[in-house]
Structure 1
Amino acid sequence: MGESPNRRTRSEADKAGSAGEGRGEGPVTRAAVLAAALEIVDRDGVEGLSMRRLAEAVRRDPMVIYRHVPNKAAVLDGVAEVVFAELSVDATDPDWMAQLRLVANDFRRLALAHPRVVPLLVTRPLGTPLGLRPLAVLRPLEDMLTLLTRAGFSGPDALHIYRALFGFLYGHVFNELQEMVENPDETDDLLRLGLYRLPIGEFPLLRGLAPALAEYDGGAELERGLEILLNGLDATLPRGDSNPVSTA
């Protein structure tokens, strides 16, 4: 019986790498591996990602892939890192509320562009101690702390604002990405959303909100939530300066 490819020695893998990195042409990089992993997750979800499929996507021997990412968990962390790297915060913006609105809308854009990656964005960083997280994941946090302390908030209050904002954003994108329509061809909102299944005597308010639920606008909902959250934080958290900050 021949030896399994997954049990090849490191020296054999190195020989494969020196000969055009396996089946492909030219050297392979960690960035290329993670880009291919992101494409797989975008198309087939996390459950569709495997080390073998990843190797096939970059046309490399599986052992070459392991030289860049040691296991599937590292690949998932890397996918979250790639998407977070697209999120930027302008720490020099004099209007902290306007900047956080831009960040929130940018995060929503990334979530809608990569809906199957959203669970990774929420869970993978939280499963790793702060000091061990990739710099691309930590950069938005550092920049937000800089933005907010420049606006006059204390460090702990700036951290509180960051946590409140991203707690809201995670919940919002999960809610927006949920499939709310049961029967899209129905014209009656109760039937489209499946709310007709609820006993009217027990859920009169929820059933009565069927038209509002059916007209859900993720962008408008985000803006309304941000208005409540940011104005509340501005009103309740002390700042070291006395200059008014625009809420536009």
Structure 2
Amino acid sequence: MAKAPAHRSIHSDGVPITRERILACALDLIDRDGIDGLSMRRLGKALGRDPMTLYRHAPNKAALLDGVAESVLGQLEVDTGAGEWTAQLREVARGFRRLALAHPQVVPLLVTRPLSTPLGLRPLGTLRPLENILTLLTAAGFTDADALHVYRALFGFLYGHVLNELQELVESPDESDDLLRLGLHRLPIGEFPRLRGLAPVLASYDGAAELERGLDILLSGLTATLAEPDSPG
């Protein structure tokens, strides 16, 4: 009988143990137990394999985390075809938010992990959104440098937005008074009158609506301050 290829192992159930299957299982574990809940031992147990057999697909936990981030970002669609660039960037922003809400435990990997790795050393899949957005914007007439500026501004905003949306805002959810629900009653009224006064607004936080407001401000500001792109000829 021919041996299985070196890059895949066959489990007793006949299903190949591939890198894709390993990353999908790792993502499930992170979704359930967080990044700290992921280990080669637990991953091997979930897959029904000796953890040592997984190292041919991921040499260490760091590589495994990079692979999970790459697999999630691989789901972010960027339409580089014809269309108004601000509308297309809105769709990118909405897609990123959907991924963040679907995998909140992975958000630290998407936001902070790439910052500690030089661009040229990052997994290729994590760079494709950047390349595709640069392609979209330069096709719309922006210079390469301005396209990069737009990308940085957009994702700087998105990272802050999803981190803010995912954090716990309510201290006492059973309270009917917004000031008590958010714990703002603890703030001295003489020192924080405006923040206390915003309790109803803070308590009615709508992540989707907040994203759209932020994009309105960001994209209108970029349109006003950057040179208008030339229309493709």
The TM-score normalised by the length of structure 2 is: 0.93
For residue 172 of structure 2, give the secondary structure of its aligned residue in structure 1: coil
> Which secondary structure does the structure 2 equivalent of 1:136 belong to?
helix
One-letter amino acid of the counterpart of residue 110, structure 2: L
Report how many residues are paired: 228
- Report the equivalent of 2:94: 105
Matched, 1:120 2:109: yes
After superposition, the CA RMSD in angstroms is 2.0
Moved over 2 A (4+): 20-27
Kept in 2: contact 1:24–1:60 (CA 8 A): no
Is this contact kept in 1: 2:34–2:105, CA < 8 A? Answer: yes
Check conservation: 1:22, 1:64, Cα contact below 8 A.
no
Query: Which whole-Å CA distance do the structure 1 matches of 2:162 and 2:108 have between them?
Result: 10
Structure 2: segments with no counterpart, 5+ residues: 1-5
User: Do structure 1's residue 227 and structure 2's residue 182 form an aligned pair?
Assistant: no
1:150 maps to a residue whose letter is A
The one-letter code sitting in structure 2 at the alignment partner of 1:126 is L
Q: Deviation at 1:22?
A: 6.5
Counterpart of 2:207 in structure 1: which amino acid? G
Give the deviation of 1:135 after TM superposition.
Answer: 1.9
Q: Show the counterpart of 1:161.
A: 150
Is residue 76 from structure 1 mapped to residue 65 from structure 2 by the alignment?
Answer: yes
Q: Does residue 65 in structure 1 map to residue 21 in structure 2?
A: no
Residue 169 of structure 1 aligns to which amino acid in structure 2? L
Deviation at 1:25, TM superposition (A): 3.8
- Cα distance in 2 between the residues matched to 1:142 and 1:25: 38
Instruction: Give the match's secondary structure for 2:227.
Output: coil
Partner Cα separation in structure 1 for residue 13 and residue 59 of structure 2: 20
1:34 maps to 2:23: yes
CA distance, structure 2, for counterparts of residue 23 and residue 125 of structure 1? 37
CA shift, 1:24, in A, is: 5.9
1:182 aligned residue (171, 184, 192)? 171
Aligned equivalent of 2:42, options 47, 53, 59: 53
What is the SS of the residue equivalent to 2:112?
helix
* Unaligned ranges ≥5, structure 1: 1-16, 244-248
Structure 2 residue 124 is matched with structure 1 residue 135: yes
Q: Structure 1 residues 231, 157: CA separation in 2 closer, same or farther (over 3 Å shift)? A: same
Q: Which residue identity is paired with 2:219?
A: L
Partner amino acid, structure 1, of 2:51 = P
State the distance in 1 between where 2:13 and 2:231 align: 61
2:3 corresponds in structure 1 to none
TM-score (ref. length: structure 1): 0.87
Q: Secondary structure at the match of 1:238?
A: coil
Structure 2: how far apart are the matches of 1:137 and 1:53?
A: 25
Residue 27 of structure 1: how far off its partner (Å): 3.0
Asked whether the equivalents of residues 85 and 140 of structure 2 are also in contact (C-alpha less than 8 Å), the reply is: yes
